[in-house]
A and B are shown apart, each in its own frame.
Chain A
C-alpha cells in the first residue's frame, strides 16, 4: 500500500501540474475580434468527431497503419491506467469480473505491440530520426515499460511485479508534465482550437451548398 500511495501522490502532482499549465494557457487566450462566417461550436464538434476519422486527414488516410497503431497505443495506455485503479480497488476488496480482466489484457497487449512498433519506426525511419530527441524516445520507452510491467503482473500475479508496476507508473506520472507526454492535455486543447479556427471561418465542417454571404447590393 505504501508504494500505491506514492504513485497516487505522483498522479496528483501530475494532474495539478497539467491543470496549472492549462490554466495559464486559458488565462492568456485572446478573443478573436473578426466577424465569424461559420460556427465555432460546429467546428469543435467536427474536430472531435468526423475530423478524427482517417478520411478527414492525410496524416491518417496516407498512413493508416501508423495512425491505427497510435490509436491502439493510446487505448492500451488508458487500459493500463484503468487496471492500476482497479487493482487498487481489489486491494480494498472489490471483485473484478473476468471479462473485464480479459479485455484489459487484450488492450494492453495490442497497445504494447503498437507502441513498440512506433518506437522501432522512430529508430529506423530517417525522417523520423531527424525530428526526434531523447525526450521522444524516453517518452515512448517509459510508457512501453509501464504497459509491459502491467502485463507481466497480470500473468505472474506476484507482489514484486505489482510493486514494480506501481513504481514505473509513479515515474511516468512524475515525468508527464515535464516532457513530450504533456501533449496528453494539450491534444484536447489543440483540437478545440482547430475546430474554432476552421469552424469560425466557415471552412469546416464543409458546406458544399454555401454560396455568397448575402451582401447588401444596390
Chain B
C-alpha cells in the first residue's frame, strides 16, 4: 500500500461523488443469482473459493452502498448484509477489486441482468485511491508515467537514440536510405503512439510499424516525449491522473498539427484514450482517434499493402484483448489483417467479445503480490491456446503479450507470441 495515511472518510466521500445515475442502477440491480460464475477466469480457476465469484465481489461493493445509501441498510444492516467501511473492510475490498478481478467485463456481458461489473470495480478502486489504498506497485507505474512522460521512465535521449538505431537498421535491411522514422514532425497525417515496452524490450514491433508506414507511403510521425499509449491510472482508478496521461497524447497531436492520433497495439491504452478520456476531461477530444488495427486494415482494403500470406506459413491464432474488443469495439479488423497475412488462421473458442481475459489486465502485471493468482487464472487461456494447435499467438496488446509469454513458459505451450503488426510486416511484398 501507499505510504500516504489511510483515510477511510475520503473513500466514502469519493464513493458518494461517483454514484451517478449509472452506478446507482448497477448498485441496485444484482439479484445474487450467481450465474456469472462460469464467465470469470478467476472463478473458473478457483471453483472452491466463493470469494472469486463476480457476484461475491459485487456484493462486497454493494454492501457498502446499502449501508450508507439505503434506508433498510442503515436501519437493519444484518438483514441486508450491509457493511460499514472501516480499515479491515477496506483491506478486504482492496484484495477483491485489485487482486481478484482484471475488470475484463466478461461476467458483465454474460450477466443475467446485464450489470457492468467492470465499471463497478473501477468505481471502488477510485474510492480506495482516495483512501490511499492503491497497491504501491500499481501506483509506482502511474507515478512513472506522470513524472517522466512514460511508464518505464525512458529518457528522451535514450528514446530518440533507439528510434534512430531502428531507422538505420531498417534502412540496411531493406537497402533503402530514404526510410525515415520521423520524430516531432509538424503537420503529419498521423501521430503514432507506442507502448514504452516497445523501445525498451520489443523494438522489433516498432520496426514492423516502420515497414508498414513506409510501404503504405504514410505521412507519419512519433513524438519524442509524448508517445506513451498506456494508462495505468485506468486501472488504479484515479481519474485525474488518467486524464493527465491520456490528455498528453491529444495535446501533442494538436501541438504537432497531426491529422489524427493513431493508438498502438495496446488494449487498455486504446480504451482509455478513445473511450474514457473525453469523460475524464469533461469535453470532446477534438481530434480523430483510431486504433492502428483500423489503419492497417484500411491499408489492406485500399490496396496500399501487397501481401504474401505464404511468408507466414505457421498456424496462427488470435487472442482478443478485453479492453480493445469487449470494451473498445475493435473486433473484426485484427481478423481481417491476419486472414490476409497468414496461411493458416484459426480462432480460439470462445472468441471476439466472448473471449476470456489472459489474466494480465486490470494492472495485474504491475502488482507482483498477486502474480500467483494471475498465473492460475491464466490457465483457461493456456488451455484455449493449446486446443487450437497454433504455433503463433497474435495479440494486439503488449500487456497481453507479457502475460501470454509468462503463460507460455508456465504451462509449456511452445508457441511464439507476436503483435499483429509484426505478423503483417512479415507478409509485406516490398518494391514493385
Contacts and interface: CB of A to CB of B under 8 A. Distances in A.
Interface of A: 21, 24-30, 32-35, 37-38, 47, 51, 57-60, 62-63, 66-67, 70, 125-128, 130-136, 138, 178-180, 182-183, 186-187, 189-191, 193-194, 197-198, 201-204, 206-218
A27 B71 CA distance: 20
A200 B57 CA distance: 27
Given A217-B189, A218-B189, A204 B353 contact: yes
A131 B55 contact: yes
Contact of B32 (A26, A59, A131, A201): A131
Given A187-B29, A216-B288, A217-B304, A26 B50 contact: no
B72 A211 contact: no
Contact of A217 (B55, B275, B302): B302
| Nearest 9 pairs of A and B residues by beta carbon | A133-B81, A194-B114, A29-B21, A130-B50, A202-B329, A59-B35, A33-B278, A201-B329, A28-B21
Given A33-B281, A193-B114, A208-B332, 9 more contacts: A127-B34, A127-B53, A135-B81, A183-B29, A190-B115, A193-B26, A206-B331, A217-B295, A218-B218
Nearest to A30: B20
Interface of B: 19-22, 24-26, 28-39, 50-51, 53, 55-56, 59, 70-72, 78-81, 108-116, 189-190, 216-219, 259-260, 262, 274-279, 281-285, 288-290, 294-295, 297-299, 301-302, 304, 325-329, 331-333, 336, 352-353
A134 B77 CA distance: 10
Contacts, number: 204
Contacts of B276: 34
A62 B327 CA distance: 23
Given A203-B326, A215-B260, A34 B279 contact: yes
A217 to B, nearest CB: 6
Contacts of B35: 58-60, 62-63, 66-67
B351 to A, nearest CB: 11
Contact of A190 (B26, B72, B353): B26
B65 to A, nearest CB: 12
A32 to B, nearest CB: 6
| Residue among A34, A60, A66 with most chain B CB within 10 A | A34
Contacts of B53: 127, 130-131
| Residue among A58, A133, A135, A204 with most chain B CB within 10 A | A58
Given A58-B38, A194-B116, A183 B31 contact: yes
30 contacts: A21-B28, A25-B21, A29-B22, A33-B281, A33-B284, A38-B329, A47-B114, A59-B110, A62-B38, A131-B59, A132-B32, A134-B79, A134-B81, A135-B81, A194-B108, A203-B325, A203-B328, A206-B331, A206-B353, A211-B333, A212-B301, A212-B333, A215-B288, A215-B295, A215-B298, A216-B260, A217-B189, A217-B295, A218-B217, A218-B259
Contacts of B301: 211-212
A216 B189 contact: yes
B283 A135 contact: no
Contacts of B190: 217
Contacts of B19: 28
B39 to A, nearest CB: 5
Contacts of B262: 215
Contacts of A208: 332
B270 to A, nearest CB: 11
A51 B110 CA distance: 10
Nearest to B271: A201
Given A33-B282, A178-B71, A206-B352, A59 B25 contact: no
Nearest to B118: A197
B78 A134 contact: yes
B111 A135 contact: no
B31 to A, nearest CB: 5
A127 B283 CA distance: 43
Contact of A60 (B108, B112, B352, B353): B112
A116 to B, nearest CB: 16
Contacts of B56: 130-131
| Residue among B20, B72, B329 with most chain A CB within 10 A | B329
B25 A25 contact: yes
Contacts of A213: 290, 294, 298
Contacts of B189: 216-218
A191 B78 CA distance: 29
Contact of B353 (A30, A35, A130, A203): A203
B329 A186 contact: no
B332 A197 contact: no
